[in-house]
Amino acid sequence: MFRLSRSLMRPSAQCLSDSLKTKMHVCKYATAPHPHSPSEPDQQSQLLPPQQNISGSDGHGHNRDSSTRGRADGKEAAWNTGGSGNGSGSSERGPLSWKSAALQLGLMTIAGGGLYYWYDQEKRQKATASSKVQSYGGVKIGGPFSLTDTMKRTVTEEDFKGKFAILYFGFTMCPDVCPTEMDKLTAAVNRIEKRYGSGIVQPVFISVDPKRDSPERIKAYLADFHPSFIGLTGTYDQIADVTKKFRVYWSKPDDSAGDDYVVDHSIIMYVLHPSGEFIDYYGKNLNADEVTQKLTAHIEKYMDSKK
């Protein structure tokens, strides 16, 4: 027989709640043998935590019936870990909740970023619209100038206010590029005048070859293009001044070159607002239709502002 005492009585780690059968809690108490008593069958396997008794041996060479203990082990694992009682000891609801929250947070971040991008773009466009009148790419383009027309009259930037002036820099002896660009500008002006009437745009030709391009020569040259063209020339200093203000590249020929030379220059049309400020430019890559569309957009915006 065993001698029992309160100190030798201890609760086991196995407290089963069988809600399906008895709806009662059953607690087992294991009685430890007295040190001097005959050895009893090893009951330590019953005291091991459930997760250690799922399969295999209990460490003392005793095999266990996993089929009879699986249900109890599963319930205790679920009770110990807060699981769903499936024996796995893990919860699937937590990770799904975190994924859902992360997804919602991501969608909110994307939506917020989109709204900020739209607001920032609107702000930038307004700032660009107000600053583009005076500069392009952070560099001021345009400014006061004084030149001579084909009637040998002095012409300044003030004479073009009230119209959309389109300035083209070239020279009358240009073999191919200048005539092509002048034809393109003529076609665009014709289309603009057909829609809005004459007087709303003013094409201007400024020579970068003052040595050969006299007022008379420029007048004869412009006869092949739109009749409203104004031709301007001047001294080397005057041409150097206006080309510098509009950031136009041009090469001054050597004094010993005689009259047989070609002037290298930028192929750009510069658009001045009726207020006299620079607002746009068109390169060689644009055709007459594209130039017309861009000019039309500026004209429509200007006319809307006058309403």
Rounded to 5 degrees, what are φ and ψ at 295? -65, -40
Q: Which amino acid is residue 182, in one-letter code?
A: M
Q: In degrees, to the nearest 5, what angle opens at C-alpha 8 toward C-alphas 7 and 14?
A: 110
Contact (Cβ atoms closer than 8 angstroms) between residue 189 and residue 204: no
Report whether 178 belongs to an annotated binding site: yes
Dihedral sign from CA coordinates of 153, 154, 155, 158: negative
DSSP per-residue codes, 88-138? S---SHHHHHHHHHHHHHHHHHHHHHHHHHHHHHHHHHHHHHHHTTTEETT
Rounded Cα distance, 244 and 141, in Å: 9
Binding residues: 174, 178, 265
Binding residues for Cu cation: 174, 178, 265
